[in-house]
Amino acid sequence: MANIAMLGTGLIGMFYTMSLTSKRGRDKVVVVAGTQPEKTKAFAEKWGIPNWTTNLAEAIQRPDVDLVVIGLPNYLHLEAALLATQAGKGILCTKPLARNAAEAKQMLDAVDKAGVFAGYLEDLAYTPKTLKALQSIRNGSLGKILWTRSREAHPGPHSDWFWKKELSGGGAIVDMGCHCIEIGRNFIGKDVRPLEVMCWGATQVHPIEAEDSAVGLVKYATGAIGQFEVAWTFRGGMDLRDEVSGTEGTVWLNHWLRTGFEMFSAPGQRGYVSEKSESDTGWLFPVGDEVGALGYTDMFVDMLDAYEQGKQPMETFYDGYVVNAIMDAAYRSMDSKQWEPVLLDVWRGSEDITDQAARTDFDAEHYLIKQEVMPDGKIKFILKNKQSGEITQTIQ
């Protein structure tokens, strides 16, 4: 059982509180901190939280608090994390860990030095579909992972601060690229080093300083490519999709616009449909269990079980730091228009670089390039001679 200080009363604070007060039950949010007194008080009353405050330090330093959940704007993550480590409290921090890798490294160093529990709240790595796909991939069902693609696009964030580059640290990349990059890392293997990034980003629609659209490629030491696509310009709700391609198989995941729940309403549903939905009329895609479908439920079960058992959760502050470093490289690439290295002051994974093509033997003299069944039922094999490199075909 953990007593929790919830920092933040926005959408993410609401989703987190919904998750914490629903499934496990034995954990308790004992205090909530927000910036606006009336809003914070109303939040506490709605969710049955016995205490509220507008002072972060007061909430964090309460003697009955075990864990601090940071659901604050990006520019406050570092301050809140340092306050929590100074108080010796465990920390769970929302994504992105920080505005950049330098801030993330300060947070990582602080929790390492204090020896406190720290988890990175990357919910989309915990969706039920993602967890199922990860288990299959780890069992070897897709063979060597070659390429991943993760896409998140919607009409833009809910809060004004996220549209201000100096407060958020960036635009769509820092908002959603962090999700996509960490999903790719999980599929490829988090012990595989990210080497370099190529990224395009632009402000296509909104009158802001940050990018509202971006596409990036992250190259890993195995030769795998993690592709991310993010946009604050997408109309029609929230597009959440992932793909994984391996030498032995493929995974396609659609988390949101095709949920298995489709509904048409001419007069309108007359209420909330799902996060980022733009209309409640016409064809709708409601979600039966929103916090479950977005991964919040499984994420908090993993985090709080790990806290109780004194072990590392699936997503750690170190993972958040690596993601920030990859995003920093993406922003440099946007400016330079070339591949930029991922700069990591500390790397805790494998040092192996195995960037080479997967090869399958056909016989002692040939590699198999491809085999296919022809219309007449015969099998065609396309082969490469191991010595000469000559490519030929044979039909059996």
Residue 231: pLDDT over 70: yes
Q: At what angle do helices 296-309 and 11-20 cross, to 10 degrees?
A: 60
Confidence band, pLDDT 50/70/90 cuts, at residue 317 = very high
User: How far apart (Å, rounded) are the C-alpha atoms in residues 195 and 178?
Assistant: 17
% of the chain residues with pLDDT over 70: 95
Tell me which DSSP letter residue 98 carries.
S
| Spacing of C-alpha 41 from chain mean position | 31
DSSP helix/strand/coil, 86:
helix
Interval 302-311 mean pLDDT: 96
The superfamily CATH assigns to domain 125-298+311-341 is: Dihydrodipicolinate Reductase; domain 2 (3.30.360.10)
Under the banding of pLDDT at 50, 70 and 90, the label for residue 323 is very high
Give per-residue pLDDT as tens, 141-195. 999 999 999 999 999 988 899 999 999 999 999 999 999 999 999 999 999 999 9
**Burial class (CB within 10 angstroms; exposed 0-12, middle 13-18, buried 19+) of 301:** middle
Per-residue pLDDT tens digits for 253-300: 999 877 677 778 787 766 666 666 667 777 777 777 888 888 999 999
Q: What is the pLDDT of residue 357?
A: 67
Is the Cα torsion angle 201, 324, 83, 116 positive or negative in sign?
A: positive
What are the boundaries of each domain within the chain?
A: 3-122, 125-298+311-341, 366-395
* Section 326-338 average pLDDT: 98
- Can you give the C-alpha Rg of the chain in angstroms? 23
Q: Which of 286 and 314 is assigned the larger pLDDT?
A: 314
- What is 3-122's CATH number, 3.50.30.30, 3.40.50.300, 3.40.50.720, 1.10.443.10? 3.40.50.720
Q: What is the pLDDT of residues 106-115, one digit of tens each?
A: 999 999 999 9
Kindly report the pTM of this predicted structure.
0.89
